[in-house]
Amino acid sequence: MHAAQIESIDDIETLRRIAIGAIQLIGERDAKLAASDRTIAYKTTENEALKLEIARLRRLQFAAKSERFDPAQQPMFDEAIAADIGAVEAQLDALRAEADADRDTPAKPRNIPQRRPLPPELPRVEVRHEPASCTCGSCGGALHPIGEQVSEKLDLEPLKFFVRRDVYPQYACRSCETITAAPVAPAIIDRGIAAPGLLAQVVIGKYVDHLPLYRQEAMFERAGLAIPRNVQAEWIGRIGVALAPLAAALKADLLARPILHADETPVGQLDPGRGKVKRAYLFAYRSADHTGPPIILFDFGENRSGEHVREYLGDWRGALMVDDYAGYKKLFDRGVVELACWAHARRKFHELHVANRSPIAAEALTRIGALYAIEAEAREAGLDPAALHALRQAQAKPRVEAFKAWLDETRPKALGASGTRNAIDYTLKRWPALMRYLDDGRHPIDNNAIENAIRPIALGRKNWLFAGSERAGERAAIIMGLLATAKANGHEPHAWLSDVLTRLPTTKDSEIGTLLPHTWRPAAG
């Protein structure tokens, strides 16, 4: 065989191997493309599924706002939904990051929600992140600053204790040997280890943040200091006694108001004789809007007897917004004016409508809603009591009278033992008191203000467990009333209480009013 022929055969074999290799490469490429297509399809499907899940959770989150949840359940529901949304968004962000890494070209920038700036008054702790070297990693040249990128994130430290040292220097006169020094300031708890800030923290943890003392004990231990719960309890007992004069002065201011809200809620009280917890009550009182800065107070009673209310209010005469509890009835026999709550009347029809979509209930809700729309219009316009009274007379009174006529006409059509008849009868029974909100622009339309003040107690009483005695219940009522009034007047509770506990030992009885939460101003400096 000629050399030229052999050379040709070698070329053919080489070409064959090249062709086989090319076919293999093409097959591998096709397999990778197919796998990539499957991955893209999967990620696209997962991406859309996550978006749909977020949309569903958002709808559920906002829809829940219009539902009437138990106040104790609503925060837990909100937290659960928010946690689910955060988890799904984190999955979606991770998926997007993978997709961006797989792209040959950069992805289009996504619309990222603009966060609110962090409060400028917060202290800044700056951490600088310098490059590992001061020379260029590419050419070795020196690096020169041209600017900086700043990222601010909110951070915190756990409870951080510190020791406050109050030093009182002593000076002597060499001429007469007289010693001069600033007097040692008295404290709420003499010779105790707790400064006002710590005392305020324990009180607010229990009565504002609903943390029982054993949980606070564990929190303090994690922060490096053991403060047994019985010590905390002793502090709270002493603080309750110290704050009693403020509560008495606040009560005097409350009873000077012409219009009040009142309500009551059950709490537990230890019954050592039977080894059980019995039911006691906190009676709540609040000044009405348009009568001055808000005042909220609580009174502890071992039972629900109306005598507690009559004893607390004493000789007070004015207009009292209450529900239909019989304990208030004797007050109205001795000159107190009864105001009834339109929200309670509305609630009867709302429950009926939820139960069976009653058209009568729907009509009642529409008519009552028109009255509340007038109140909302007045709030938005900032009307004073005189202007509000005129608005109610012009717009609300005709609607109220038409509602009464409709109730009288509808009642005979309702079955005797039905929910419809019960809702109508409740409203007609309370009608004279319901009408009285029209008589004065200062009269509230409902008792929601005091119910909102009671709501934290309903949340917190599960964590307080119980009041150990009547005296303990009275102390708790004093503390909770003062803190509720501070919050209602826009004060941060810890700032108010720590300042009051600092100034109270040196405040004269005649000046106690300067520390009350509705008149308080922070100490200068």
Residues 202 and 317 in one domain: yes
Residues 280 and 359 in one domain: no
Neighbouring C-beta atoms of residue 196, cutoff 10 Å: 22
Residues 498 and 416 in one domain: no
Residues 297 and 405 in one domain: no
**For residue 337, is it within any domain?**
no
Q: What pLDDT, on a 0 to 100 scale, did the predictor assign at position 381?
A: 95
**For residue 334, is it within any domain?**
no
In this structure, what DSSP letter does residue 468 have? S
- Counting the structural domains of the chain, the total is 3
Residues 507 and 389 in one domain: no
Distance CA 513, CA 244 (A): 13
**For residue 143, is it within any domain?**
no
Please list, residue by residue across 429-457, b when 16 or more beta carbons sit within 10 angstroms of its beta carbon and e when fewer do.
ebbebbebbbebbbbbbbbebbbebbebb
Structural domain range at position 388: 342-446
Contact at 8 Å (CB) between 304 and 264?
A: yes
Beta bridge partners of 270: 277
Residues 214 and 297 in one domain: yes
Q: What pLDDT, on a 0 to 100 scale, did the predictor assign at position 79?
A: 56
Residues 363 and 281 in one domain: no
**The pTM is what?**
0.76
**For residue 515, is it within any domain?**
yes
Residues 31 and 54 in one domain: yes
Residues 319 and 243 in one domain: yes
Q: What pLDDT, on a 0 to 100 scale, did the predictor assign at position 67?
A: 45
Residues 236 and 309 in one domain: yes
Residues 348 and 256 in one domain: no
**For residue 108, is it within any domain?**
no
**10-residue block means of pLDDT along the chain (525 residues)?**
52 74 78 72 65 65 51 53 62 66 55 69 85 85 86 79 88 88 86 90 92 91 88 90 95 97 88 74 95 96 90 95 90 93 94 88 96 96 96 97 96 82 94 97 96 83 65 89 96 96 92 96 76
How much of the chain is helix, strand and coil, in % rounded to 5?
55, 10, 35
**For residue 178, is it within any domain?**
no
Residues 373 and 423 in one domain: yes
**For residue 469, is it within any domain?**
yes
**For residue 378, is it within any domain?**
yes
